[in-house]
Amino acid sequence: MSIVETVIGLVLLVLLSNLINHYFKSIPVSLIQIILGTIVALIFNLKIDLESSWFLLLFIAPLLYNDGRKFPKEELWKLKGAIFNNAIILVFITMMLGGYLIHLIIPALPLPVGIALAAILAPTDPVAVHSISKQVKLPDNILHLVSGESLINDASGLIGFKYAVMVAVTGYFSLKTALVDLFYFGLVGFVAGFVLITIVVLIIEWLIVKGFNDVVFNTVLQLCVPFIIYLLTEESFHASGVIAVVVAGVVFASKRNSFIRIQPEINIVSERMWDLIVYLLNGIMFTILGVELPVAMHGTIENEDINTFSAIFFVFVMWGILLLIRIVWTYCYQLFTDAKAKSMKERLKVALLSGISGVRGAITMAGALTIPTQIASGEAFPERSLVLFIAAGVIILSMVVAIIVLPFISGDVALQTRGGLGDLDANKVLETTEDEDEDEQLEISSNKAKLYILKTAVRSLEGERRMGNELAVYHLILEYQFMIKRLEVNEYADDLNKAATSDEIKLHKVALRGQLNELERLHQTNQIQEKVYHKFKKSLKNQLKRADHKAKIRQEWPFPTIMESIRKFWRSISLWVGIRQDEKYGVGVRLVERSIAKAAIKALSEYLKNPEVNEKKINREVIYHMIITYRSIIERQKSEEGLSGKDYQEQVRRLRFKSIAAQRAALQYLVEQGYVNHQAAISLRQYINHEESLNLRASILPS
């Protein structure tokens, strides 16, 4: 069968599996796909040459990258200790102890082969875990832990498997080389993933700044990222591509909010494309696993020297060893890390949930099938068919047991770890430029209509401003202000845009001088320390020197770029170290940040009141944007002491829904007054619907 026919057939089986799952919801769709793949392989004698290299590239890399993008960051940080221990330490305990035990039970399996079998069975499968969790309502803590370790343990398991097979083939092993390789694979993979995704984010930011908003281009670029990062890491740096794509996914998710609001169409399309890609890759991966099962089991069933029932018994034994090691590990981990005392029953329940939910999946089968047929001496690899049979059997058994047992023991358990729209002046917003014909029809351009809608959203947010939600209001206003500026750049003449840029540069310098004056006052009145004074004076002086350039940048991009985020993170570390050394230092820094922001607003106000300044000639949007920016800084200082991250995100979501309602009301007004035609109204409504869809998605996805 040709590759094209095979792919089409696999896609059809995926569709059929989801149709069957619609009527048999108690059976995970991944298990249905495995069964269908096995049936087709038996009936049509279908075989697929499964090479681990392309399997990891085409399936594991994009799926793990997507898991990294979607994994809740708060949970990842909260469970960092448990995830690291399960993904690294538990994998190697399972590999060594499990390999030794299986060698004792099956003497025909040499110790290196037993260790290789245990190593490839040690990693849990995130796709299978999520598939199981949909049916059994796995508690969030357990689901996040198992999913989190699944993002990393593939790398550690594959490294252990690689060296165990090498020992079995050559008879040679170097502990030093293995440890160096493990360290190199992990560290370089981490760095490569971080650096490469940083470059990608910088490219996306540059494209946005340049106004290149082609939906298809940006979507394809984002979909290519995991494949490029995996290939470069594996081929160029010879490190772990698995770790690289996971790191890349997590880093990209941290910058996602910068793109998700500014490019609503692009993000809607890219998210839908990811849903499609993940749907197909997940389904095809498990269907291929089903196709490979007869190949894996055929050798054992046909081998007269191996009793089939004994082989099945060994499957149960191997699964039991893996389960026991995982349960004991989780139980002991709780004894040493739980902040609160738990009863033995509670700890055992958590350990059982963690153990049984650690199902195995496609990467186990992909690795096992790469075992060579011969060793260095030319003899057959010892008990290769039995190893494949056990690996395939454990995959199926772990899924089936999870489906049957988990509903009876799952429940709410906790795993402790360290670790109104006001009056609208439409005439001002919709007025035509002087060079337009006075006899022009009432209809306006789509950009002008969108400007009116966005400015209406800003006015609605101003009306919603209350004590306690000001930071969220200013955050949203700055987003809308960015989009307003971009539209004005496209809609109005270049000389008007140059005038706005000139105004922003001038006002930015006024604000910086006001900040410097306030800093001097704080220093002269002995309210701040010398090191705080010199720190901010140097920063403000540098900003004043770069004011011409920075003003142009700030009007293009309202969010901190990734380089600014890195600098901000470094400043936070420096501040934390400074506070640990001197508590007054942190107090002084916060005092200066709040005071100079207020001074900037005051300086701008006094400048505009100066009789020599013609305020009417200054772009009002520029003034408004700068004042909102400084108010946002002041409110951020206040919120650090009271408002939690979840409460803030909830405020943003509620306010965004209200701004969306205001946009719809504004669009309705434009339609009723005849300012936009039917086609333009449809396009504008889609634009508003995109933003609402993103907000609804953000409401259900973990932040």
Tell me the residue length of the chain: 703
CB distance 47 to 295 below 8 Å = yes
Answer left, alpha or beta for residue 259, where phi above 0 means left and psi between -120 and 50 means alpha.
Answer: alpha
Query: Between 122 and 333, whose confidence is greater?
Result: 122
Mapping DSSP to helix (H, G, I), strand (E, B) and coil, where does residue 343 land?
A: coil
The reported pLDDT for the residue numbered 104 is 92
pLDDT, tens only, 489-527: 666 655 555 555 677 788 888 888 899 999 899 888 888
Nearest one of 134, 133, 62 to 279, comparing CA atoms: 62
674: buried, middle or exposed (CB in 10 Å: 19+, 13-18, 0-12)?
exposed
pLDDT, tens only, 447-486: 788 888 988 998 888 888 888 888 888 888 888 888 887 7
The reported pLDDT for the residue numbered 410 is 65
3-409: CATH topology is: Na+/H+ antiporter like fold (1.20.1530)
The reported pLDDT for the residue numbered 325 is 93
Residue whose pair of structure tokens reads 């290939």 in the numeric block: 231
The reported pLDDT for the residue numbered 509 is 86
Spatial neighbors of 454 by CB under 8 A, at least 6 apart, are 480, 483, 484, 487, 663
Sign of CA dihedral 293, 299, 303, 306: negative
Measured CA angle at 54 (ends 49, 60), to 5 deg: 115
pLDDT confidence tier of residue 10, bands split at 50, 70 and 90: very high
pLDDT confidence tier of residue 582, bands split at 50, 70 and 90: low
Q: How far apart are CA 292 and CA 48, in angstroms?
A: 7
Q: How far apart are CA 57 and CA 517, in angstroms?
A: 58
For the entire predicted model, the pTM comes to: 0.65
Residue 703 pLDDT exceeds 70:
no
Q: How far apart are CA 258 and CA 562, in angstroms?
A: 10
Element at 32 (helix H, strand E): helix 29-44
Structural domain spans, the chain:
3-409, 426-700
Q: What CA dihedral angle connects 196, 198, 199 and 203, to 10 degrees?
A: 140
Spatial neighbors of 299 by CB under 8 A, at least 6 apart, are 384, 385, 386, 388, 389
Q: How far apart are CA 94 and CA 118, in angstroms?
A: 6
The token pair at 113 is 């082969």
- Lowest model confidence (mean pLDDT) among 262-271, 430-439, 637-646, 688-697: 430-439
- Lowest model confidence (mean pLDDT) among 205-209, 284-288, 518-522, 637-641: 637-641
Average pLDDT, the chain: 78
Sign of CA dihedral 427, 428, 430, 436: positive
| Secondary structure (H, E, C), 65-123 | HHHHHHCCHHHHHHCHHHHHHHHHHHHHHHHHHHHHHHHHHCCCCCHHHHHHHHHHHCC
Hey, what amino acid is at 257? N
The CA distances from residue 572 to 92, 419, 475, 636, 671, in Å, are 36, 20, 21, 15, 49
pLDDT, tens only, 295-323: 777 777 777 777 888 889 999 999 999 99
CB distance 79 to 702 below 8 Å = no
Q: How far apart are CA 343 and CA 333, in angstroms?
A: 14
